[in-house]
Amino acid sequence: MTQQENKDDLTSEQRKQIGEKLRALREKKGWKLKDLLNAMEALNIPPLSGRQILRAEKGQMGVSKISLNRIAQALETQLEDLLSDLKDELVEVSEEPSQISPTPDRV
């Protein structure tokens, strides 16, 4: 797969919108970041680092579809719910994480 095929398909605005939704869902549950990490651990979901989640919530970095799904599980929601309210049309996201970003953990 070429570097261009691995290119991030989300705009910074879309990453920001996803991040805002992640934070809103976490805060709606009354959770601090540590609570989200604990929920991921309790569900045997391979965790992300707290720093990765915070940067994703701020839209400073993207998260792969796999990682978004892990966070959604811990928040007791569906991946589709995280992606449903994007203001801009979301480029169709492939099932394969490498199609989303340069590394498996980023969008």
pLDDT digits (tens, 9 = 90+) for 34-93: 999 999 999 999 878 999 999 889 988 877 888 888 999 999 999 888 888 765 444 444
Interatomic CA distance for residues 8 and 60, integer angstroms: 13
Stated as kind and residue range, the H or E segment containing 89 is none
Confidence check: pLDDT of 23 > 90 = yes
DSSP string, 21-54: HHHHHHHHTT--HHHHHHHHHHTTPPPPPHHHHH
Q: Which residue has the higher pLDDT, 40 or 101?
A: 40
Provide the 10 A C-beta neighbour count for residue 74: 24
Token pair recorded at residue 71: 């966070």
Q: Please name the residue that has the structure tokens 């719910």.
A: 81
